[in-house]
């Protein structure tokens, strides 16, 4: 009599930090399959007090961690722009989410915006709408979030899930990952990872 093989489960919290809106997505990964647990946005108070916004980011991230008990946090890195003040504020917002995860001993991985878009759509220059449409197709959700920041947060979690090396692949070298010319070839080669 064969025993059922227990698939390893992992909960991933993805965050797209922002000073006006913070997007988040939470996935449950069971073996090669991923399932959407939650996604949404945290709106910052309409105030000029940047410190109050940072406090809200920290508190809401801790609340998400305490509620969903993620194994890891995947967070989007601030993009490089010409406005130094905007970059500084985004860096602080990211730092508060990271500090919240550190306060709960949650493993953290950071991804560049281009890397996230590339892993979801196959195109590092994809629009937010293209990323959202691909996530809807992949995770089979119909509701359209009020803000694309929610799907941006979810995209970070999905990107993190896609980075794992399959068990028993015999290779753990980052350079040995296969690249795909588009979404169709990725799905064809990874049918087991698609939730139906």
Where is the binding site for Mg(2+), in residues? Answer: 16, 76, 149
pLDDT band of residue 173 (cuts 50, 70, 90) is: very low
pLDDT computed for residue 146 by the predictor = 62
CA distance 11 to 37: 9
Average pLDDT over the chain, rounded to an integer: 84
Q: Is the distance from CB of 171 to CB of 30 less than 8 angstroms?
A: no
Q: How many CB atoms lie within 10 A of CB 166?
A: 12
The per-residue b/e assignment along 57-89, b for 16 or more CB within 10 angstroms, e otherwise, is: bbebbbebbeebebebbbbbbbeeeeeeeeeeb
Residue with tokens 């196959």: 122
pLDDT-derived band at 166 (thresholds 50, 70, 90) equals very low
pLDDT at 174 over 80: no
Whole-structure pTM value: 0.80
Give me the percent of the chain exceeding a pLDDT of 70.
79
Q: What per-residue confidence (pLDDT) applies to 186? A: 60
Structural domains in the chain?
Answer: 9-193 (3.30.420.10)
- Signed CA dihedral, 91, 96, 98, 102: sign only: positive
Query: What are the angstrom distances between the C-alpha of 142 and each of 55, 86, 132, 182?
Result: 32, 33, 11, 23
Q: Residue 195's pLDDT is what?
A: 59
Pairwise CA distance, residues 55 & 166, whole Å: 38
pLDDT in tens, 110-158: 999 999 999 999 999 999 999 999 999 999 888 766 668 899 999 999 9
At residue 2 the predicted structure's pLDDT band, cuts being 50, 70 and 90, is: low
Catalytic residues: 16, 76, 149
pLDDT, mean of residues 59-74: 97
Q: Alpha carbon of 151 to those of 48, 116, 144: distances in Å?
A: 26, 11, 9
User: Where is the binding site, in residues?
Assistant: 16, 76, 149
């Amino acid at each position: 009599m064969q025993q059922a093989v227990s698939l390893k489960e992992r909960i991933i919290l993805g965050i797209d930090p922002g000073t006006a809106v913070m997007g988040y997505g939470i996935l449950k990964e069971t073996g090669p399959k991923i399932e959407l647990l939650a996604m949404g946005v945290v709106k910052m108070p309409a105030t000029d007090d940047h410190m109050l916004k940072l406090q809200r980011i920290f508190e809401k991230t801790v609340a998400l961690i305490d509620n969903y008990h993620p194994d890891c946090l995947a967070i989007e890195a601030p993009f490089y722009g010409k406005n130094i003040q905007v970059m500084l504020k985004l860096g602080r917002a990211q730092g508060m989410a990271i500090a919240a995860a550190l306060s709960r001993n949650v493993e953290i991985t950071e991804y560049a915006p281009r890397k996230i878009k590339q892993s979801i759509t196959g195109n590092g220059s994809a629009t937010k709408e293209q990323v959202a449409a691909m996530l809807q197709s992949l995770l089979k959700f119909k509701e359209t979030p009020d803000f694309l920041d929610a799907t941006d947060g979810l995209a970070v979690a999905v990107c993190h899930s896609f980075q794992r090396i399959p068990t028993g692949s015999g290779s753990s070298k980052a350079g040995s990952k296969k690249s795909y010319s588009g979404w169709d070839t990725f799905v064809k080669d990874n049918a087991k990872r698609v939730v139906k």
